[in-house]
Amino acid sequence: MHPIHQTGRFLLRNTYKATFRYTCRSGFAKMMQAVCVDVPGGPENLLLRSVPRPQPKDGHVLIKVHAAALNRADLLQRRGLYPPPPGESDIMGLEVAGTVDTLGPALRRPWKPDDRVMALLSGGGYAEYVSVPEELLMAVPSDLTFSQAAAIPEAWLTAFQLLHFIAQVKEGEVVLVHAAASGVGTAAVQLVRLLGAVPVVTAGSREKLRVAEKLGAAAGFNYKEENFVQGVHDFTGGRGADVILDCIGGCNWEKNVGSLAVDGRWVLYGTMGGRSVEGDLLGRLLSKRGHLLSSLLRSRSRQYKADLVKAFSHRVLPHFSGQPASLRPVIDSTYRLEDIAEAHRHMEANRNTGKIVINVLPQNEEPTD
């Protein structure tokens, strides 16, 4: 038996005594493999167990998961710092791709068994099956494999939300994208181009900058070796960036304000560089007439997510198909579900360029019509 496989009871969120989360009145409940966490901590605390398979309720579709993808929110949840919204699955995983297995009651759209789908989740993706509200499903473009499709929902919808819903990026504007080689970053660079704006980026290595430039970045700055504030001003003729997409937070605030154009929008969606700020943030931001905006996706209402999925499906999804497709998910590496701890270590070490994908089922990766 692989060392990650263990038998035992599945645990409730924030309750670290052994309790069985799913009550089964019958001894014949269908089971599935899922990644569980008994005690918050490091990747070694991730355990693969047999748990009851979810049943689709009204308006839901049960997906047989072929592939899932990692997000930094998963690392925080594993450490006990980012619990799922009330009522959502305690299992980690915010995006999956697979096939329709079972249709719940009262569906409004003509989904069929074996349809190839991908889905935005609030949790539950590190498992063989997941139940999803139908309005959060998208058909997988025929040109994409399941692994590629699994890399789209959370990362690309996050980037689209930040650019289109929150910052309302306009054609010709300059958008500074931090962590440009991350899943959200590689998506954002491509979406900025799709929206007719100009992406400039930061990353921590020349290799990552080269990837971003191949995706369409007009300029890139290694934040470990150079002053990106000066780089942004040199690129824009001293005007600064109209929009900043920032997942770093605290340690970058002075450089962000320094990079911002007058009346610019600084969009905060993560705090990898800390949550605390010391200094004259408000005064400096006020002098730029800057807008500080913030957003998370996981905690949004189902209706908000449904509207986002609908807008993304209409405006962006068609660009993943055709010859040549103008958009593509960037895959850094793939792991098996039983190797989930190694996948987490890879992300925590910040070694990935693009998405880390978990192949839940053995992949026959040739796209089908």
Task: Report pLDDT digits (tens) over 10-34.
Answer: 333 333 333 223 333 334 569 999 9
Q: In sequence order, what E strands does the chain have?
A: 31-37, 46-52, 60-69, 95-103, 116-120, 129-133, 137-139, 174-177, 198-203, 219-222, 241-246, 260-268, 291-294, 331-336, 355-359
Q: What is the predicted pLDDT for the residue at 26? A: 36
What is d(CA 69, CA 96) in angstroms, rounded to the nearest whole number? 7
User: Nearest-CA neighbor of 209 among 182, 227, 230, 237?
Assistant: 182
Q: What confidence category does residue 364 fall into, taking pLDDT thresholds of 50, 70 and 90?
A: low
Which is it for the CA torsion 49, 297, 182, 322, positive or negative? positive
Choose the most confident range, by mean pLDDT, from 5-9, 24-28, 281-285.
281-285
Task: Report pLDDT digits (tens) over 42-89.
Answer: 999 999 999 999 999 999 999 999 999 999 999 999 999 999 999 999
What phi-psi label fits residue 324: left (phi over 0), alpha (psi between -120 and 50 degrees) or beta? beta
Q: What is the predicted pLDDT for the residue at 279? A: 82
CB 222 within 8 A of CB 206: yes
Q: Which residue has the tokens 């010391």?
A: 278
Q: In angstroms, what is the C-alpha Rg of the chain?
A: 21
User: Domains in the chain and their CATH numbers?
Assistant: 38-144+329-365 (3.90.180.10), 156-294 (3.40.50.720)
Q: What are phi and psi of 222, to 5 degrees?
A: -80, 105
- The stretches of the chain forming alpha helices (DSSP H) are 72-78, 146-150, 153-160, 183-194, 206-215, 228-235, 253-259, 281-287, 302-315, 340-348
CA–CA–CA angle 324, 329, 332 (5° rounding): 125
